[in-house]
Amino acid sequence: MRFVHCADVHLDSPLRGLSRYEGAPVDRLRRATRDAFERLVRCAIDEKADFVVIAGDLYDGDRDDFQTAMFLQGQLHVLRDAGIPVAIAYGNHDAANEITKRLRLPDNVFVFPADAAGQKVLEDAGAVLHGRSYPTRAVTDDLSAGYLPPVDGALNVGVLHTSLDGRPGHDPYAPCTLDALVGRGYAYWALGHVHAREVHEVDGVHVVFPGNLQGRDVGEVGPKGATVVEYDADRVRRVWCRDLAPVRWARREVDLRDVAQVDEALDRVVADLGELRTSCAAEAGAASAPELHAVRVVLRASTPVSQEWLRHADRYETQLRADAGGGGDDLWIERVEVSSPARSPGEEKASGEAVDAVRQAFALLRAASPGSRSPRGEIAGLLAGVRRRFGTDLDDALGLGAKVLDAAALDDLLEEAEALLVAELEAGD
């Protein structure tokens, strides 16, 4: 017997800031969450799953998109036609969603109630599912405390959208402890909310965050997908991950400290990206391999290389994209960051005051709101006014790249300016 556990699907989640990237595969990135959900459905059918559990955040809280609802309905009907029940516990995002309120789900779908803990008995699967949906976006109580006792002779699965013991970068919703979940008497806890995979096994009890189904930006790197659980009677026998994301985000740091020429640096980076492709193809089956690698490249370069690169960044990044692409469409370089290596104490002391002054100045610029009467606000206002007067053609002349000067784009410009100034100061010692 098997079931599939996923969470944090975030269907049609808006990908902010893509307008800043020239040549970005926007359509593929925007469709990635749908493609991942279709892969999830195929995975459940291929694994002959007895049921599917979705532990919250099917979509984002502020979405009210008829097309998103239609897509979800269609995929749930595919599972219905395959005879696969689906259990959903709404989390902080979909609890307040208009799609949630209006969507009429197929009869193979069970949604846990929001006013109290609920229970779903799946007799054919020999399982009892326990769970509760969020009544509102922000839930600060321990929902698991009200879950019903386990049912003897069945596989008991708890479904919960939670921060567990607290996770950096995640709101502390539905807090609980690992010890409390293990002591509840269930064989498996299907959790959601944390976007990184975590698998805990304590005394035969599995407590699992499958991670989100599809990474949405470079902060969510690596394989993403769902968890497949094999069980026998009331015990879990095996748990494994299925990589389902069609777009895999990656951050590749390339050590170029022994390289003195930019051409050699380019060759080294292209070779590293080739290794990324090869390793991903080797670890994943054809059905679950990523179709697109979205990569941020970080160059740990010698001072001469970093200085030359920053002076002519557009030229070298264009060359890198052309060389790394190799005529294919499976790799997109999201951004290139350039960093000089750490300096010796003596070298650092010689140039430290000037470099520190530059870094402090840029830190102050970043700290201020773009709309405030501050240097950062003045920069934003000046550039926005120039664009209104001369249009986006000026962006190409200046090499700014960003078509919309939002806060993130301004941060990018400030980071690039800081890196260039620091490289110039270090090279001048």
CB contact burial 300-321 (16+ within 10 A = b; e otherwise): bbbbebbbbbbeebeebbeebb
Q: Are residues 88 and 203 in the same domain?
A: yes
Q: Are residues 86 and 168 in the same domain?
A: yes
* Rg of the chain taking only CA atoms, in angstroms: 25
Q: Domain count of the chain? A: 3
Q: Are residues 120 and 234 in the same domain?
A: yes
Q: Are residues 283 and 358 in the same domain?
A: no
Q: Minimal CA–CA distance to 205: which of 191, 226, 224?
A: 191
Question: The CATH number of the domain where 45 resides is what?
Answer: 3.60.21.10
Q: Are residues 260 and 189 in the same domain?
A: no
Are 147 and 184 contacting, i.e. CB atoms less than 8 angstroms apart? yes
Query: Which pLDDT score is estimated for 398?
Result: 45
Q: Are residues 318 and 335 in the same domain?
A: yes
φ/ψ bin of 335: left (φ > 0), alpha (ψ from -120 to 50), beta (otherwise) = beta
Q: Are residues 83 and 109 in the same domain?
A: yes
Q: How confident is the model at residue 46 (pLDDT cuts 50, 70, 90)?
A: very high
Q: Are residues 25 and 97 in the same domain?
A: yes
Q: Are residues 251 and 359 in the same domain?
A: no
Q: Are residues 418 and 393 in the same domain?
A: yes
Q: Is the pTM of this model over 0.85?
A: no
Dig out the tokens for 254 from the structure. Answer: 């390339």
Question: pLDDT by residue (tens digit) across 93-152?
Answer: 887 666 666 678 899 999 999 999 999 999 999 999 999 999 988 899 999 999 999 999
Rounded Cα distance between 145 and 419, Å, is 51
- What lies within 8 Å, CB to CB, of 344 at 6+ separation is none
Last residue in a domain, options 192, 218, 243 = 243
Q: Are residues 315 and 356 in the same domain?
A: no
Question: pLDDT by residue (tens digit) across 280-332?
Answer: 766 655 556 789 999 999 999 988 899 899 889 889 999 999 999 876 789 99
Q: Are residues 223 and 288 in the same domain?
A: no
Residues 15-36, mean pLDDT to the nearest whole number: 81
CB contact burial 365-397 (16+ within 10 A = b; e otherwise): beebebeeeeebbebbeebeeebeeeeeeebee
Rounded Cα distance between 156 and 149, Å, is 9
Q: Looking at the predicted structure, is the pLDDT value of residue 225 above 60?
A: yes
Residues 159-165, mean pLDDT to the nearest whole number: 93
Last residue in a domain, options 228, 243, 258 = 243
Last residue in a domain, options 212, 243, 274 = 243
Are 156 and 130 contacting, i.e. CB atoms less than 8 angstroms apart? yes
Question: pLDDT by residue (tens digit) across 169-179?
Answer: 677 899 999 99
Domain that includes residue 76, residue range:
2-243
Q: Which helix (H) or strand (E) holds 119?
A: strand 118-122
Q: Minimal CA–CA distance to 10: which of 227, 224, 296, 168?
A: 224
Alpha helix segments (H runs only) across 303-406: 303-311, 313-325, 345-367, 375-390, 393-398
